[in-house]
Amino acid sequence: MKIPKQIKLGGHKINITLTPDSAQKSTRGFADVHDMTIVINAGRPEDIQAETLMHEIFEHINECNNLNLDHTIMTVLSEQIFSVIRNNGLRFDQE
C-alpha cells in the first residue's frame, strides 16, 4: 500500500507524514488530533505501516467523537479489520 499524503475524515483533511525510523524507534506511529496529522514510521515493514494508518484513523475517530474507547479495543479492531481487508483482497470502490 502506498501511504497517502492526506485523507479526509468526516469532512476534515488529515495530513499524513512518513518519518524516518531513527525519529521514532519505539513506535509505529501516532495521531495528533489537534493538528489533524498522522505520523507513520517509515522504517517499519509495509504491512505494519498500512495497519498503523488504520489504527491512527481509529484514534482520530475516537477523539473527534468523544467515544472514549480503550486503546486495547482500538488496537484489536484495527488489527482485525486490517487483516480481513488485506487477507481477502477487499476493495470498496468496485462491485
The answer on pLDDT for 9 being more than 90 is yes
Contact predicate 67/59, CB 8 Å? no
Cα diameter, the chain: 42
Domains in the chain, start-ordered, CATH in brackets? 6-87 (3.30.2010)
What single DSSP character describes residue 23? G
Percentage of the chain beyond pLDDT 90 is: 84
Write down the pTM of the prediction.
0.90
Task: For residue 26, give the C-alpha cell.
Answer: 519505539
Contact predicate 60/9, CB 8 Å? yes
> 66: part of which helix (H) or strand (E)?
none
Task: Convert the pLDDT of each residue in 38-77 to its tens digit.
Answer: 999 999 999 999 999 999 999 999 999 999 999 999 999 9
Task: For residue 66, give the C-alpha cell.
Answer: 468523544
